[in-house]
Amino acid sequence: MAPSPTKHGRDQALDFQGFLNDLQDWELSLKDKDKKMKSQVSNKLSSSLSSTFSTDESVPDATSEKELGNEFFKQKKYNEAIDCYSRSIAFSPTAVAYANRGMAYLKIKRFREAEEDCTEALNLDDRYIKAYSRRATARKELGKFKESFEDTEFALRLEPDNQEIKKQYAEAKAMYEKEILKKASGALQRSVERMQKGGKAEDGQHVTSTSSSGQKTGASKIQDHSEKSNGSLALKPAAIIEEVKTKRTRNARNGKQKLRASVQELANRASSLAVLEAAKNITQPKSAYQFEVAWKGFSGNRSLQAQLLKVTSPGSLPQIFKNALSTPLLSDIIKCVATFFSEDVELAVGYLDNLTKVPRFDMLVMCLSSAEKSELTKTWDEVFCGEATPIEYAEILDSLSLKYGVKR
């Protein structure tokens, strides 16, 4: 028979059980504390990371500096705006930042810097209307009326319905025409002054001659009287004056003719020298604006226009013109290509082919006038697809004729 547990034994068992229960409670308590600590650490870490990201977002960048510059500009703090735009450009150069800084320079009348910034903006985006407009303003203030007119003219072509550009174009055109008239008037005035000086010198010679004649007549009255009595008529003073006037008019007319000939000769010589100098400095344009300005500058000289085409890679035409090629310029380029077609067929075909890849080409062809289409067809038949055209190019040109709307 087993002995029954004593009271002391039961108490020890209960104490041990209580100890185990306390131990379990302590373990659970530790786990709860551990969870709370982990949660706190996690929250602190999240807060720290959030703070870090928030700090990173506040770090200046190109966009924030540009926007800050805009705020300064609105407050008419132009120097502060320029500083912000400069930092924005340092972070990441953009056409907008350059054009905005150019506008700020205009406000403080630093026109040279404004022109340079707008040019940089156009190098990054050659279709940025505001940059053309602001550069036109800067150039007008610098007295570059021709360049100012060209900027507004090109901007108006890009946005024909822009009322502000229309107004600026009209003003630039008026100032440019006024400058041309002023130069022409000055040249005419100088010519007249030279003519008048020449006339005065001749008058002096005639007066001297007349005086001598008068003295001679007075000294030989007896002889004159004798000649009268013999039936000879003496030369009257009125007749002498009339003769002097006639000679003076004749000499003045001859002087004008000589002057015109000299001026024409000098003009021809200057023109020839200018052509030679221009031919040396022709480089490939980077934008439609640069191409058109150069093309117009060589107006009337197919040789220089052909040289401009030859330094321009045919494959770069779509990138140069983008949406800025006009119908008149397209027609003019085709005529120029025809002038050197026979000497370099491959290059000419390259131009004709790549022109069709310029955006909106189909629309440009549709806008050709009846006369232009007729002339294009004639050029295509007589030059591009003439008997001398190599067969390998004739097939390409025959295919291209459809894109140019040539009916054959």
Q: CB count, 10 Å around CB of 184?
A: 10
pLDDT over 90, % of the chain = 49
Confidence at residue 231, expressed as pLDDT on a 0 to 100 scale: 45
- In 3-state terms the chain splits into helix, strand, coil percentages (rounded to 5) of 80, 0, 20
Confidence at residue 279, expressed as pLDDT on a 0 to 100 scale: 62
Structure tokens at 13: 């068992």
Confidence at residue 255, expressed as pLDDT on a 0 to 100 scale: 60
Residue 304 near residue 340, CB atoms below 8 Å:
no
Could you tell me the residue ranges of all domains in the chain? 62-162, 288-403
Global pTM reads 0.56
How far is residue 12 CA from its own chain's centroid?
Answer: 104
Tell me what the mean pLDDT of segment 313-324 comes to.
92
* Separation in Å, CA 13 to CA 6, 20, 311: 11, 11, 108
Structure tokens at 164: 């502000």
CATH of 62-162, one of 1.25.40.10, 1.10.3720.10, 1.10.240.10, 2.40.160.10: 1.25.40.10
Whole-angstrom distance, CA of residue 17 vs CA of residue 405: 106
Tell which phi-psi region holds residue 322, choosing left (phi > 0), alpha (psi between -120 and 50) or beta: left
Confidence at residue 24, expressed as pLDDT on a 0 to 100 scale: 63
Query: How many residues does the structure list for the chain?
Result: 408
Tell me what the mean pLDDT of segment 200-223 comes to.
47
Would you say residue 387 has pLDDT above 50?
Answer: yes
Query: Model confidence at 300, in pLDDT bands (50, 70, 90)?
Result: confident
Whole-angstrom distance, CA of residue 106 vs CA of residue 141: 9
> Which residues make Cβ contacts (< 8 Å) with residue 341, sequence separation at least 6?
348, 383, 384
pLDDT digits (tens, 9 = 90+) for 7-50: 445 545 545 555 556 656 666 666 666 666 555 545 554 555 44
Query: Model confidence at 180, in pLDDT bands (50, 70, 90)?
Result: confident
Whole-angstrom distance, CA of residue 208 vs CA of residue 214: 10
* Residue of higher predicted confidence among 108 and 255: 108
Whole-angstrom distance, CA of residue 294 vs CA of residue 281: 11
Whole-angstrom distance, CA of residue 163 vs CA of residue 288: 22
Confidence at residue 58, expressed as pLDDT on a 0 to 100 scale: 56
Rounded (5°) CA angle 119-150-171: 110
Confidence at residue 230, expressed as pLDDT on a 0 to 100 scale: 45
Chain mean pLDDT for the chain: 78
Whole-angstrom distance, CA of residue 316 vs CA of residue 288: 11
Q: CB count, 10 Å around CB of 243?
A: 13
pLDDT digits (tens, 9 = 90+) for 107-150: 999 999 999 999 999 999 988 999 999 999 999 999 999 999 99
Query: Model confidence at 337, in pLDDT bands (50, 70, 90)?
Result: very high
3-state secondary structure of 128: coil
Q: Which range, 2-16, 178-192, 353-367, is most confident?
A: 353-367
Residue 334 near residue 298, CB atoms below 8 Å:
no
Query: Model confidence at 210, in pLDDT bands (50, 70, 90)?
Result: very low
Confidence at residue 266, expressed as pLDDT on a 0 to 100 scale: 56
